[in-house]
Amino acid sequence: MPFEYQGWTLYTREVKLKRGPRVIIYFFSKKKPKVANAAERLPPGKKVVVNKGTGLPFLTSARPNEELSEDTLNRIRKAKPEVLSLLEE
C-alpha cells in the first residue's frame, strides 16, 4: 500500500547527479508519474510538512525535541514571550 497524505501519494525516483552518484529522491504527486515507484512508507527520520503558500506537501527532517540553551531562551523571552509559554508546555 503506497504512503498517502491528504490525497497526495509519495513516490521515489532514482536520479543521476551531474557530478556525483545516483540518489533516490522523494516527491508527492496526485497522478502516477511515468518513471517512478510508489513509496510504501515514509523514509526513516523524515516527516511530512505542507508549504503554507502553495499547499503542497514535502518531506523534511524529523528532529527529536531539542533542548534550548539558556541564551536562546533569554532571546525568546525578550522577543516573543508568548512563544516561550508554548515551548515550556
pLDDT in tens, 31-66: 989 888 988 888 888 889 999 999 999 998 877 665
Mean pLDDT over all residues of the chain? 83
Nearest to 87 by CA among 70, 69, 68: 68
Residue 79 parent element (H or E): helix 70-79
The domain spans of the chain are 4-63
- Predicted local distance difference test score (pLDDT) of residue 70: 73
Spatial separation of the C-alpha atoms in residues 51 and 55, rounded to whole Å: 5
Whether the pTM exceeds 0.75: the reply is: no
Residue 84 parent element (H or E): helix 81-88
- Predicted local distance difference test score (pLDDT) of residue 44: 83
